[in-house]
Amino acid sequence: MDVYAPRGQTYSKRKDKFMDTMNSAIYIENDRLFDYAAAAARLLTPGGERTGRGDAHRMQKRYREIKHCHAEIARRFGSMPSPPAACEWLLDNWYMIEREYRASAPQIEAARRLRRCTEGTLPGALARTLLLSGRGEVTAERFGIFLKGFQSVTVLRRAELCLLPAYLSAAVIESVAGVCREMRYASETEDYAKRLEALFGTLRLFAVLDTEKLVNAADVTGGILARDPAGEYARMDAGTKLDYLRRVEALARREGVEEHVYARRLIKRAAQDKRHIGFYLFPARGRQAAAWYIGANVLTALFMTLLLAFMFQNAAAALLLLLPVSELVKSLIDFILLHIVRPRRLMRMDMRAGVPEAGRTVCVISTLLGGETDVKRLEELYRACVSEGVNLSFGLLADLPVADSAEADGDEALIRPVREAVTRLNRRYGGRFYLFTRDRLYSRDSGKFAPWERKRGALLELCRLLAGENTTLRVRAGDAEKLRSTRYILTLDADTRLEPESAGELIGAALHPLNRPAVDPKRGIVFRGHGVLHPRIAVSLESAYRNDFTRLFAPAPGGDPYGSDAGEVYMDAFQSGGFAGKGLIHVGAYLACLGERIPE
């Protein structure tokens, strides 16, 4: 008697080729799997390219077969307390088939430039062979051994590696569909139940495994790049490594070679020059783009202004319209650029273990003395930056109010409570908190005594203190000796809040070799890298609805400002942008470029 017999359907008894092989396959033990995979690679010789659309269509057909089988089994056995074993496996685990199909089919369909072999696409054939070697069972260990053996003969491209989990799901779905096809006229289901148990076990395991880690461990190109002569590649975060691998993929395709071949050439060249590989993958852009941008703005604005003046036959109109027309032209060009240039993620180092010694940073809030409110903000910042570790310190860059003399009678009364509050924080958390104040200087403009140049002057004086130069800045609380090797200043306003780990992201970006500033001392400019990093800033719900002005002009509040990339037209197009007083400053670059440059 048939286990299930769909009404109104007739089926051919011709078995699927893959399932015939699965039925007769021998389980390959782990100690023989490497050689088995190498032999399979010799048989699956790649040649030519194709898309994954055909594989996705094939997966859809197998999915529909299983769906139809599941519906028939549910109709016949769904209400039974003890259905046949194989039917029970399908009834209980149908959700996994549906989940993996919906997750994997779009990935496979979107795939481009997959190498072909005698059994279809190379990753598809590889996944089926891997599944065959374990008679439906695939573990993380077997996955790694098989890929290592396969790539000892044929090295996979990064795109093929990334698609392997999706193709493995497709192979499992194809196998389950084959089991469903065989069960149509079967009277016993014990063997089918064992096969379904192995197949669903594979799906369940790979749903919880860190497949990205498995793929990265098997990535030959990534392993070659890890031999970076500068030793920087291994210390980068996952997103930056992926950017490097994608760049290698694009350049290798442009030169018509395989990715691992291009990567070896790159490492050899970098070793000869004793440089980081990133300088060859991402060469610095010239300044022609900025010149074209400025020229387009100026010429278009002049043309439009003269055109309007000619239409009105009035020269005075040209002068009156020049500024508004130039602003409209600039807004239009910026709008076009934002839709042409893709957001560019800054390369960064991995900060999961905390900020290293080379990235020692002091986070400061510029404020006027007057209470303990700002000290509480220091504690909030500390709690938000726990993951950054001991190499991130916190301080108040506090100024005394304007007075008639360099020293006023009430100065100590202002300084004492703040100093005591900072000292209490140091006792509670083991240091890393500071209070900085500056001497007053005579101002000719006001005839009063005040700290020099407010926030800009305070930052410049702090840079001088950290660099060991003469300064009027005083350390009122905290261990001054621990500041000597500090390389960066993270400057914030009193109302600025840091998202957890965002400080580490900024410091990690500053430490990347492509972002470290190279200064031309003669011109006083940073000609490569970045001396200042300005983070993305979002408006909180509370601030956005504080008054009528913010309701009208504040951007959309409440969203996660670090959940996705965001475009900044000048940074994306020209690798440079503005600075709004909140961000990370490289002490040496700041002093070299701005130490004596801006007049009072």
What's the whole-number mean pLDDT along residues 440-463? 80
Band (pLDDT 50/70/90 cuts) for residue 265 is very high
Rounded Cα gap, residues 579 and 276, in angstroms: 28
287 or 214, which is more confident: 214
20 or 51, which is more confident: 51
Rounded Cα gap, residues 99 and 204, in angstroms: 11
Q: For tokens 């001991």, what's the residue?
A: 390
**Residue of 237, 235, 215 whose CA lies nearest to 226:** 235
**Measuring CA to CA, how many Å separate 44 from each of 77, 128, 174, 533?**
42, 12, 19, 49
What's the whole-number mean pLDDT along residues 474-484? 86
Rounded Cα gap, residues 446 and 443, in angstroms: 6
**Residue of 247, 248, 246 whose CA lies nearest to 258:** 248
Query: What does the block give as tokens for 288?
Result: 């022609």
pLDDT at position 5 is 47
Rounded Cα gap, residues 244 and 233, in angstroms: 9
Band (pLDDT 50/70/90 cuts) for residue 104 is very high
pLDDT at position 447 is 75
pLDDT at position 591 is 87
pLDDT at 525 over 50: yes
Helix residue ranges, H only, 5-84: 17-24, 30-43, 53-77
Contact 86, 189 (CB under 8 A): yes
pLDDT at position 299 is 87
Backbone torsion region of residue 120, taken as left when φ is above 0, otherwise alpha when ψ lies between -120 and 50, otherwise beta: left
pLDDT at 14 over 60: no
pLDDT at 15 over 50: no
Burial of 490 (0-12, 13-18, 19+ CB in 10 A): buried
pLDDT at position 565 is 57
501 or 172, which is more confident: 172
| % of the chain exceeding 90 in pLDDT | 42
| Burial profile 335-357: b = 16 or more Cβ within 10 angstroms, e = fewer | eebeeebeeeebbbbbbeebbbe
Q: For tokens 């702090």, what's the residue?
A: 462
pLDDT at position 226 is 94
* Pairing between β-strand 49-50 and β-strand 114-117 as defined by DSSP bridges: antiparallel
Question: What is the tens place of the pLDDT at every residue in 196-236?
Answer: 999 999 999 999 999 989 999 999 999 999 999 999 999 99
pLDDT at position 139 is 94
Q: For tokens 């990347």, what's the residue?
A: 512
* Pairing between β-strand 441-442 and β-strand 449-450 as defined by DSSP bridges: antiparallel
Contact 400, 440 (CB under 8 A): yes
Contact 530, 568 (CB under 8 A): no
Question: What is the tens place of the pLDDT at every residue in 505-520?
Answer: 999 999 999 999 988 8
Band (pLDDT 50/70/90 cuts) for residue 268 is very high
| Strand (E) or helix (H) holding 146 | helix 140-151
Give Cβ neighbours of residue 119 (< 8 Å, ≥ 6 apart).
44, 125, 128
**Measuring CA to CA, how many Å separate 142 from each of 24, 36, 131, 206?**
20, 12, 10, 12
pLDDT at position 153 is 94
**Residue of 290, 292, 329, 291 whose CA lies nearest to 307:** 329
Query: What does the block give as tokens for 203?
Result: 């799906």
| % of the chain exceeding 70 in pLDDT | 88
pTM: 0.84
pLDDT at position 11 is 39
| Strand (E) or helix (H) holding 365 | strand 361-368
pLDDT at 4 over 70: no
pLDDT at 12 over 50: no
pLDDT at position 542 is 63
pLDDT at position 482 is 85
pLDDT at 290 over 80: no
E-strand stretches of 114-237 = 114-117, 120-121
Instruction: Work out the angle between the directed axes of helices 158-182 and 238-255 (0-180°, nearest 10).
Output: 90
| Strand (E) or helix (H) holding 250 | helix 238-255
Instruction: Work out the angle between the directed axes of helices 454-466 and 587-594 (0-180°, nearest 10).
Output: 120
pLDDT at position 457 is 83
pLDDT at position 10 is 39
What is the number of H-type helices and E-type strands within the chain?
23, 14
Contact 221, 129 (CB under 8 A): no
pLDDT at position 480 is 86
pLDDT at position 22 is 62
How is 300-363 classified by DSSP, letter by letter? HHHHHHHHHHHHHT-HHHHHHHHHHHHHHHHHHHHHHHHHHSPP-PPP-B--TT---GGG-EEE
Contact 131, 168 (CB under 8 A): yes
Band (pLDDT 50/70/90 cuts) for residue 453 is confident
pLDDT at 7 over 60: no
Question: What is the tens place of the pLDDT at every residue in 539-556?
Answer: 666 665 667 766 665 656
441 or 163, which is more confident: 163
Question: What is the tens place of the pLDDT at every residue in 546-582?
Answer: 677 666 656 566 555 445 556 666 676 677 777 777 8
Sign, CA torsion 114/119/120/123 = negative
Burial of 498 (0-12, 13-18, 19+ CB in 10 A): buried
Q: What is the mean pLDDT of the chain?
A: 84
HSE-up of 578 (CA within 13 Å, CB side)? 6
Question: What is the tens place of the pLDDT at every residue in 399-422?
Answer: 877 777 777 777 788 888 888 888
96 or 521, which is more confident: 96
pLDDT at position 1 is 38
Q: Which of 82-96, 188-202, 245-259, 369-383 has the lowest mean pLDDT?
A: 369-383
Centre a 10 Å sphere on the Cβ of residue 234 and count the other Cβ atoms it contains: 12
Rounded Cα gap, residues 572 and 588, in angstroms: 25
Give the DSSP letter of residue 39: H
pLDDT at position 330 is 85
Rounded Cα gap, residues 129 and 21, in angstroms: 10
Q: What angle do CA 368, 371, 374 make, to 5 degrees?
A: 70
Question: What is the tens place of the pLDDT at every residue in 242-261?
Answer: 999 999 999 999 999 999 99
Band (pLDDT 50/70/90 cuts) for residue 454 is confident
HSE-up of 451 (CA within 13 Å, CB side)? 26
pLDDT at 19 over 60: no
Question: What is the tens place of the pLDDT at every residue in 420-441?
Answer: 888 999 999 888 999 988 887 7
Query: What does the block give as tokens for 536?
Result: 């993305």
